Amino acid sequence: MANLDKLMNVKGVWAAEEFSPDGKLIAYKGDISEEHAAMAAMTFNANTVMVDVYTQSYTAFSGQEWTPLIGWALIGPKYSICVGGNVCVFVNNDEVSFNEVFKVLREVAGK
């Protein structure tokens, strides 16, 4: 099980969750309902599969190293979602260091 407490201690993180490879919610913490976390787990899993296809395509066509996929982000004007492996966080953009978030996500997700 991922150490969600470690992610919650990163400044700007307001929720964290872990999901299975088939998109089921494993665990969550923070200011989010279980229903929201479960819906997010499904969509994060689907997006992770899609982004993995992109990394494989970019590697094949560019000759650059884009694989294996380590993580991805969805960035909005106030809030963002950062995913590493099967672990994700919801963050306040004005408070978070994206470098710190992805560093801790890699540690927690084992990437």
Q: The tokens of 11 are what? A: 């400044």
pLDDT of 62-104, one tens digit each? 999 999 999 999 999 999 999 999 999 999 999 999 999 999 9
Binned at pLDDT 50, 70 and 90, residue 32 comes out as very high
Task: Please give the mean pLDDT across all residues of the chain.
Answer: 96
Element (DSSP H or E) covering residue 82 = strand 79-84
pTM confidence score: 0.93
Domains and CATH numbers, the chain: 4-109 (3.30.450.30)
Binned at pLDDT 50, 70 and 90, residue 111 comes out as confident
Rounded CA-CA distance 49/11 in Å is 28
Q: Report the first-to-last Cα separation within the chain, whole angstroms.
A: 14
Mean pLDDT of 10-34: 97
